[in-house]
A = this chain, B = another copy of it.
Amino acid sequence: MAGIKDVAARAGVSVATVSRVLNDHSGVREETRARVLTAVSELSYRPNTLARSLRTDQTRTLGLVISDVLNPFFTELARAVEDAARSKGYSVIIGNADEQLALQDHHVRTLLDRRIDGLLVSPASGDSVALREAALLGIPMVFVDRWIEGLDVPLVRADGQPAVRDLVAHLYALGHRRLAIITGPVASTTSNERVHAFRSALREHGLPLPDAFIGQGDFQTASGRRATERFFALPEPPDAIFATDNLMALGVMEQLRTRGLRVPADVSLAAFDDIPWFLHTDPPITAIAQPTQELGHRAVAALTDLVEGRSAGSVTLSAHLIARRSCGEDERTRR
């Protein structure tokens, strides 16, 4: 593969000059520039980014560590992030943590080894040594959707609490009184927020939230199945289940199906995060939708601000309830 020297030789100039036209620095005669450019295209020369980055100490690359590629919410987020980054002249390297702390830290380290300019992360729950180190090192970093308490890192997310309150009101209005929730991993910030909002909304309606109605999940499909199984082993099972992410909602449906239970006749179901398929499930599923695209865009904006030496603050957007038939019929969902 041709190098800058070959180009220089062919154009009859020095490598310095070639470099100058490539990075369009001023002070190159128009005619020289043209000669270089034709040499470049004749040799179909492409600069070696490794060498360039080594020298300039910047890669124009952002790292994105997401919790689970198989979760449509995160793939949509990743997509938005990539779009935004590309339009700002950055590329993105994605690491999939699969909800595992160890895998997440592996990716964080790999990304830092690659000398990415900045890190966008939706951290798995738990104490991440790698992320703490990165923050201490002053790596430009932004959290998106999830965060880690005690780290001074800007956060871009949607506040789901009002929407959760709406959801509880909706369920209450439809006559449900035995509401259960399936949580994410214990230390998950988003899950905790959702549980907290759920509990306090319940209290407002004078409803209890017994421990048995708190299903411990981990944001993955299988845990939705397990939690559901446990709910229905109870003498008095819940009459509505709120899954704090879409994959666990899938697990709930799978388990209900094997038990032969119907939604919403036997039990109602709602999920956090809306995905296209929720419209077409049997029945369509009530969900809380986040402004995913905008989350991605804002996160990239914040991160590039940091990378380019500007300051960046946290951003909080809002989520909203989309009522469908999975919680029963009312004037909003009947048609």
A-side residues, CB < 8 A to B, are 1, 44, 46-51, 53-54, 59, 69-70, 72, 75-76, 78-79, 82, 91, 93-94, 96, 109-110, 112-115, 133, 137, 221, 250, 253-254, 257, 276-277, 279-284
Contacts and interface: CB of A to CB of B under 8 A. Distances in A.
Contacts of A59: 50
B279 A257 contact: yes
Nearest to A263: B280
A91 B82 CA distance: 18
Contacts of A75: 69-70, 75
Contact of A280 (B76, B94, B133, B254): B254
A276 B79 CA distance: 21
A93 B93 contact: yes
A47 B113 contact: yes
B50 A250 contact: no
A263 to B, nearest CB: 10
Contacts of A93: 93
B50 A54 contact: yes
A280 B250 CA distance: 8
Contacts of A277: 250, 277, 280-281
A68 to B, nearest CB: 9
Interface-central residue, A47, A54, A112, A221, by most chain B CB under 10 Å: A54
B46 A276 contact: no
Contacts of A49: 113-115
Nearest to A79: B69
9 contacts: A46-B109, A46-B112, A48-B115, A49-B114, A54-B54, A69-B79, A70-B72, A277-B280, A281-B281
A223 to B, nearest CB: 15
A254 B284 CA distance: 12
Nearest to A139: B1
A79 B96 contact: yes
Contacts of A283: 282
A196 to B, nearest CB: 29
Contacts of A69: 75, 78-79
Contacts of A280: 250, 253-254, 257, 277, 281-282
A114 B47 CA distance: 10
Contacts of A94: 94
Contacts of A1: 137
Contacts of A46: 109, 112-113
A51 to B, nearest CB: 5
Nearest to A68: B79
Nearest to A78: B69
Q: Which 4 A-B pairs have the closest CB atoms?
A: A282-B282, A277-B277, A50-B54, A280-B281
Contacts of A110: 91
Contacts of A282: 280-284
Contacts of A70: 72, 75-76, 79
Nearest to A59: B50
